[in-house]
Amino acid sequence: MCGIVAYIGHREACPVILKGLRRLEYRGYDSAGVALLNGQLNVYKKKGKVADLEAFIADKDIHAHVGMGHTRWATHGEPNDVNAHPHYSTSERIAIIHNGIIENYAALKKHLQQQGHEFHSDTDTEVFVNLIEEIQKQNHCTLEEAVRLALHEVVGAYAIVVLSKDAPDQLIAARKGSPLVIGVGEGEFFLASDATPIIEYTNEVVYVNDYEIAVIRNGKLDIRTKEDVVQTPYIQKLEMELDSIEKGGYEHFMLKEIFEQPKSILDSMRGRLELEAGHLNMGGVRAFEQKFMNAHRIIIVACGTSWHAGLVAEYLIEDLARIPVEVEYASEFRYRNPVLSERDIVIAISQSGETADTLAALELAKSKGATIFGICNVVGSSIARATDAGAYTHAGPEIGVASTKAFTAQVTVLTILAMIVGHRRGTLSDVKLRELMVELYTIPQKVEKALELDTEIQQIAEIFKDATNFLYLGRGYNFPVALEGALKLKEISYIHAEGYPAAEMKHGPIALIDENMPVVVIATRDSSYEKIVSNIQEVKARKGRIIAVVSEGDTTIPPMAEFVVEVPHTSEVLMPLVSVVPLQLLSYHIAVLRGCNVDQPRNLAKSVTVE
Ligand code: F6R
C-alpha cells in the first residue's frame, strides 16, 4: 500500500527511482511523484501511473544523485496531483514521502496551522513534513533530530523518507508498522518498501525495524532508535532472482503466476516432503512440537485470499490432526475481546507479511500469551519477524495484485503442517500419511494438467464475459475454493460474484437463480459428491447456467451442466490445490476480455498496510 523508493550515491538518481517505482507499482497506482536534490529540492508529481509521471518529467531537469519517489494508494484525499507524494513543508525546504497513516493528523494540523503552516493537500503526510519543519524551527536542531522528535508526536504507521535543501547530501528514513528495506551498495544506498527495486544493484540489505531512524550521509549508514540509541545494521543477503520479478514473456504477471504454480507448489514442498526417505519436515513445527501436541485450539488469522487458505486449513487440521480450529478475519479478531490461552496456537497467514490487520491480530494474540506461528511468503517481512516460529511459503515474488500462486503455496504448507501434526498426535496413521505424501508429490503434475485447460476456459470466458453476477458453489474442501473463485472474479473483472457452500444456497441465494445466472459448481469426486450432484439439479431446475468443475472421467454431471471442466483426480484433502486453477484462469480471461487492468485492478493494492 503505497510504494516508496529512494537513492543516494554516484548514479543518476531519477532513472533508478523511476525503475524502482515501476517495480513497486503493484502497491498502489493512483499517482506517483519524485523529489530530487541537486542544490534545489524539486518535486514532480502526477495523478495516474508511473508512466504518466515519466511523461510529465520528460522535459524537466532531473539531474541529481539524491532523490526519492512514491507511488500512491490513496487513504486521505482523492487521487490527484496535489495529494500525490512527495509533499513539501510550508517553506518548501523539506520534502517527505510516506507509506502508512498518521492517525492524529487532524490535531497536529490544527496546531501547525496556528503556527502559520500552510496546507495544500488533504493528506496526513503533509502534516508530518510540517511537523518536522516546526520542530526544527523551535529547537534550532538538525534535520535528523527534528525527524526523531517528530516520531514521538505522531500516532499511526509510517515508512518515511525525508530530504532537505539544507542537507544536500543526506537522506533520512524511519519506520513504524510499514516496511522499509535499505540496499547497501558500493558507496551507494537504495531504500524501498520491498527488495524488488534493489536486487539488480545489490543483494546486501538491511531491514529497518520499527521505531528506527536511518541516516545516510558521506557514504555511511547510521541507524538509531527513536530514543537515539545507536544500532548496528544487520546486513542480510537477498536470495531473490531478477527473473522472478519480471513478466518473462507473459502478458500479465497474474497469468505468469498462475502458470508458475507447478513450480511454486514444488518449491513450497522442497526440503519438507522427502518421499524416498519417507519424511516430512518443517523447522517451525519441529520447534513447536510440544505446543502442537498439547494445543487446545488453533486459531487462524488472515485476510482475503490468505483467509481462504486458512479455511482450507480448518478442514485439513481438524480432519488430520483432530485439533479444533477457528478461522478469523484478522480485522474483526483484533477489535473484539477474544478468549485466548497459553494452550492456543495462533497461525497468521499472509503473502506479503505486511497486512496491518493480520499483524495487529497476532500482536494481540501474543499479548494474551498464545503461541504465534506465521506462514508468509515475503522473507524478512514484518509478520515473519513478529512470530515465534513459522514457515515461509517460498512461492517467489507475487506481483499481480490478485493472489494466485501464494494461495496454492499457503495451502501446500498448511497441508504439510496438518500431516506432520496429525501423524505426531497419532490421528493420522502411517499408512494414511504415506498415501497422502505420495499423492501430494503428484500435485505439481496435476496442476500442470489443469493448466492445459486454458484454451477451453478462454472459450467459456468469451461466453460469460458480459454477465453481471456469478454464483460459485462448493462443499467441504471445495467450499473455500468457491469463495476464492468468486473473490478472484470480483477483484479483477468487477463482476459481482458470491461464493457459497452449495447446500446453503437453498437458504437464500437460490432466489437469484434464473436463466441468466452463471453458476460455477466445484463438484469433484469426494465424500459430498452425491450431495453436490443434488445441488446441481436444484440449480438446473431453475434454469441456472451451470459451469461444472469435475474430476476427470465423470459421467454423471456432464449431462446436467452447460459447460464442464475436467480436472485431474486427487485425494479430497488435496483437491483445492487443483480445483482452484480453472477458477483462476476463468477470472483472468474474463477480466482480459472486458479490457480490465488485470495486474492493477482499480482501488486495490497488493500489500494492505493500513487497517
Ligand atoms: C486477493 C488478495 C487479497 C490478499 C489480502 C491479504 O487476491 O490478494 O485479498 O489476499 O489482502 O494479503 P496478505 O496475504 O499479503 O496478508
Cα 260 from Cα 237, distance rounded (Å)? 24
Share of the chain above pLDDT 90, in %: 85
Q: What is the mean pLDDT of residues 521-543?
A: 95
Residues comprising the chain, all counted? 611
| 534: pLDDT strictly greater than 90 | yes
User: Over the stretch 18-65, which tens digit does the pLDDT of each residue have?
Assistant: 999 999 987 878 899 999 999 999 999 999 999 999 999 999 999 999
Looking at 130-139, 362-371, 478-487, 561-570, which range is the least confident one? 362-371
Cell triple for 383: 509478520
H/E run at residue 327: strand 325-329
Cα 135 from Cα 115, distance rounded (Å)? 11
Cross-sheet strand order for the sheet of 389-392: 325-329, 297-302, 344-350, 371-376, 389-392
pLDDT band per the 50, 70, 90 thresholds, residue 599: confident
Average pLDDT, the chain: 94
Cα 554 from Cα 558, distance rounded (Å)? 7
| 600: pLDDT strictly greater than 90 | no
Grid-cell match 504439510, residue found: 416
Q: What is the mean pLDDT of residues 206-235?
A: 95
Grid-cell match 495462533, residue found: 346
Q: Which domains does the chain have, with CATH numbers?
A: 3-243 (3.60.20.10), 248-450 (3.40.50.10490), 452-611 (3.40.50.10490)
pLDDT band per the 50, 70, 90 thresholds, residue 242: confident
User: Over the stretch 249-301, which tens digit does the pLDDT of each residue have?
Assistant: 899 999 999 999 999 999 999 999 999 888 899 999 988 899 999 999 999 99
Q: Is 410 in the pocket of ligand 1 (CB under 6 A)?
A: no
CA of 255 to the centre of ligand 1 (A): 17
Q: Which residue has the higher pLDDT, 238 or 547?
A: 547
Q: What is the mean pLDDT of residues 431-444?
A: 97
User: Over the stretch 347-375, which tens digit does the pLDDT of each residue have?
Assistant: 999 999 999 999 999 999 999 999 999 99
Cα 525 from Cα 575, distance rounded (Å)? 9
Q: Is 393 in the pocket of ligand 1 (CB under 6 A)?
A: no
Classify 507 as helix, strand or coil.
Answer: helix
Q: Is 608 in the pocket of ligand 1 (CB under 6 A)?
A: yes
Cell triple for 157: 504507521
Q: Is 351 in the pocket of ligand 1 (CB under 6 A)?
A: yes
CA of 303 to the centre of ligand 1 (A): 6
Residue 503 CB neighbours (<10 A): 16
DSSP 283-318: HHHHHTHHHHHH-SEEEEEE-HHHHHHHHHHHHHHH
CA of 197 to the centre of ligand 1 (A): 21
Cα 362 from Cα 354, distance rounded (Å)? 12
Which ligand 1 atom sits closest to the C-alpha of 608?
11
Q: What is the mean pLDDT of residues 183-203?
A: 94
Q: Is 183 in the pocket of ligand 1 (CB under 6 A)?
A: no
Q: What is the mean pLDDT of residues 475-500?
A: 97
Q: Which amino acid is at 487?
A: L
Q: What is the mean pLDDT of residues 113-133?
A: 96
Grid-cell match 524539486, residue found: 42
pLDDT band per the 50, 70, 90 thresholds, residue 609: low
Classify 279 as helix, strand or coil.
Answer: strand
Question: Closest Cα to residue 193, out of 276, 269, 278, 100?
Answer: 100
pLDDT value at position 376?
95
Give catalytic status of residue 449 as yes or no.
Answer: no
Cα 172 from Cα 222, distance rounded (Å)? 10
**Which residue's CA lies nearest to atom 4 of ligand 1?**
304
pLDDT value at position 610?
64
| 98: Cβ contacts below 8 Å, ≥ 6 apart | 2, 4, 70, 85, 87, 124, 125, 128, 158, 159, 160
Distances (CA, A) of 103 to 153, 159, 333, 338, 354: 11, 14, 21, 25, 18
* CA–centroid distance for 575 within its chain: 24
Phi, psi of 610 (to 5 degrees): -120, 155
H/E run at residue 43: strand 40-47
User: Over the stretch 313-327, which tens digit does the pLDDT of each residue have?
Assistant: 999 999 999 999 999
CA of 304 to the centre of ligand 1 (A): 5
Q: Is the peptide bond before 86 cis (omega within 30 degrees of 0)?
A: yes
Q: Which amino acid is at 593?
A: L
| 510: pLDDT strictly greater than 90 | no
pLDDT band per the 50, 70, 90 thresholds, residue 104: very high
**Which residue's CA lies nearest to atom 5 of ligand 1?**
304
CA of 134 to the centre of ligand 1 (A): 38
* Stated pTM of the model: 0.83
pLDDT value at position 114?
96
Give catalytic status of residue 263 as yes or no.
Answer: no
Q: Is 355 in the pocket of ligand 1 (CB under 6 A)?
A: yes
Q: Is 305 in the pocket of ligand 1 (CB under 6 A)?
A: yes
**Which residue's CA lies nearest to atom 11 of ligand 1?**
304
